[in-house]
Chain A
């Protein structure tokens, strides 16, 4: 077997192949979906214009007279080079709008993720270690509540409490980090809490369950029999094993994070990727909708691919491809 073939049949190789196949299916679905929208695509692109000559020109320009398969091929070959078309509303390239909005959403998501990981794993470990004690009840209760509260409502309550009643944080708007880091965080803290809370609840529950499993395992008994400190038994033995499960859940929940970002940006009026998506739908900006959905899905598939590859770092059984 050549090295190239060996790599293709290896775990990362197969996983990458799967991701590419899914990506192709997604792009076909998105493309077909936009074509299935009610009404004439050219008319939609022309907006208020009704002049038949203008519509014909649009059809010609965008290749709408071609066979649907040819249209797809043209679209996808352009998309691969970063050309997602031009927004019918702003007249700007779709990619430029996406790249403008993306940093805001990425910063928001990163803060939320950090919050969810720190709070979720911390509370999960405490709940498992202090099993049957008040700490466990408290952590379980907060997590259950966190799962049941709609994020945007929590956002409204937090705005009411910390931006209106006690104005420590700003309720809306965005200031780039490079321009004013303090103001940037002052405006992003509440949205990050809102976006991270649901994820933190899920992470906490999974961490607790995985830790309870680990703490009753034979290898933790061995670790105790070695006379290791409590910290070492919990940290480098039980938690290290639990992280495999927790990473799986984080990966599965990242889609929720993207959905949540859309809503959170709407509540806090942040000009991010989510707001771009909603605005595109309401203004029937088809090129933008198509680009945004495709971009999001690609990002999501890529994230899941990275999560899968990350397992192999945490769990040597996957990395080495063998199990006995």
Chain B
């Protein structure tokens, strides 16, 4: 099972999406009010495809992926549908989730410094997942762990395998996390801001590893990021989220060439305007005035309207539905900035 590499990068040749999310909602009920963290997110992920999910902090990117991994706390209320290989996962119990996690579905996290167990060797932490899912012996698992470390570009893997996390740099630790995640050749890899905590020079290396794995193993990747440079370099398709709702979804070239949602334009404007760069070479979004809305209310309106330069009365009076434009471009906006001929309207 490990050696069979699924179809190459062009996963579109495969029959259907490997992961499908439909109208996903996640809310957390507090004592006084309810926070609607995710509200109506949908996407399909084909084998070998890289989908970037972008948006500001707190827009629901991470909560969406934790829902897909089944790792939300029991207090979360989850609605809609998540299907992996056609299997419905919303409402599934832990016994259904456990054999999927680490085998079909994997995740790497933003904090490589704390995401590895400090008292176990990296080899043991990789071997664990192989012993669990592939029933390898300890010896076989160790040998495979060395191969995996080599695969993710760690030099001298036969020595590193016996080291502890604190002996490795942040970039190395993230590579170990990737090795753990791809150990069982998963169908879907969710990478939640995998390079945010790392130096700019290290970031490129990590992204190369991810792209390389996609090409060699055909893994579909959900890349959560707020770094548009990473998106442009790595992704096939982009989903833009705002305040828990999806606002725009398009192939990466299409999105950069013709951003249609005012919010997306705001995000891109931050990149395109040279003067807005700070010393570390990052451009900061300070062009969009106003605050991210309170997630406790769930207005029947466009949540971006208070900050939008193009907003009109209908934006404040009705929630815009996602509709499909030409070229697989989907958008939830009453007044798209560069109007394109409409194909159909989906409710």
Q: Which residues of A contact B (CB under 8 A)?
A: 217-219, 221-230, 232, 236-237, 240-241, 244, 314-317, 320, 322-324
Contact = CB atoms under 8 A, between A and B. Distances in A.
Given A232-B132, A322-B167, A324-B166, A225 B116 contact: no
A229 B109 contact: no
A241 B106 contact: no
Contacts of B166: 316-317, 320, 322-324
Contact of B118 (A219, A232, A236): A219
Task: Tell me if B's interface is mostly helix, strand, loop or mixed.
Answer: loop
B118 A228 contact: no
CB-CB nearest 9 A-B residue pairs = A227-B101, A227-B102, A226-B102, A218-B114, A219-B117, A316-B164, A218-B115, A226-B129, A225-B107
B151 interface: no
Interface string B4-37: 0000000000000000000000000000000000
Interface string B154-197: 00000000001011010000000100100000000000000000
Given A227-B97, A228-B98, A236-B128, 8 more contacts: A219-B117, A225-B102, A225-B106, A227-B98, A227-B103, A227-B132, A228-B128, A316-B166
Max count, chain A CB within 10 A of own CB: residue among B102, B116, B180 = B102
A221 B101 contact: no
A218 B116 CA distance: 7
A224 B66 CA distance: 11
Contacts of A240: 117, 119-120
B118 A241 contact: yes
A324 B113 CA distance: 9
Contacts of A315: 118-119
B71 interface: yes
Interface residues of B, number: 31
11 contacts: A222-B109, A226-B101, A226-B180, A227-B97, A227-B103, A241-B117, A315-B119, A316-B118, A316-B119, A317-B166, A320-B164
A317 B116 CA distance: 13
Contacts of A236: 120, 128
Contacts of A230: 94
A228 B102 contact: yes
Contacts of B103: 227
Contact of A227 (B99, B111, B116, B120): B99
Interface in B96-141: 97-103, 106-107, 109, 111, 114-120, 128-129, 132-133
B229 to A, nearest CB: 26
A324 B172 CA distance: 13
Contact of A225 (B94, B101, B167, B169): B101
B69 interface: yes
A237 B117 contact: yes
Interface of B: 69, 71, 94, 97-103, 106-107, 109, 111, 114-120, 128-129, 132-133, 164, 166-167, 169, 177, 180
Given A225-B102, A226-B102, A228-B102, A244 B119 contact: yes
A315 B164 CA distance: 10
Contacts of A237: 117, 120
Max count, chain B CB within 10 A of own CB: residue among A222, A225, A315, A316 = A225
A64 B132 CA distance: 72
Nearest to A317: B166
Nearest to A223: B117
A301 B118 CA distance: 29
Contacts of B117: 219, 222-223, 237, 240-241
A218 B109 contact: yes
Contact of B133 (A227, A244, A317, A324): A227
Contacts of A217: 114
A40 to B, nearest CB: 58
Contacts of A317: 118, 164, 166
A232 B117 CA distance: 13
Nearest to A217: B114
Max count, chain B CB within 10 A of own CB: residue among A222, A226, A232, A241 = A226
Contacts of B100: 227
A226 B100 CA distance: 9
Nearest to A226: B102
A241 B164 CA distance: 13
A129 B320 CA distance: 44
B118 to A, nearest CB: 6
A112 B115 CA distance: 37
Contacts of B169: 324
Contact of B177 (A222, A224, A316): A222
Nearest to A230: B94
B130 to A, nearest CB: 10
B291 to A, nearest CB: 29
Nearest to B101: A227
Given A218-B111, A221-B115, A241-B119, A229 B132 contact: yes
A284 B153 CA distance: 73
Contact of A228 (B115, B119, B129): B129
Contacts of B102: 225-228
A323 B165 CA distance: 10
B119 A222 contact: no
A221 B71 CA distance: 8
Given A219-B114, A316-B119, A224 B71 contact: yes
A320 B167 contact: yes
A125 to B, nearest CB: 16
Contacts of A323: 166
Nearest to A228: B132
A103 B114 CA distance: 46
A82 to B, nearest CB: 40
B123 to A, nearest CB: 13
B242 to A, nearest CB: 26
A225 B115 CA distance: 11
Nearest to A238: B117
Contacts of A228: 98, 102, 128-129, 132
A244 B120 CA distance: 13
Contacts of A227: 97-103, 129, 132-133
Contacts of B180: 222, 226
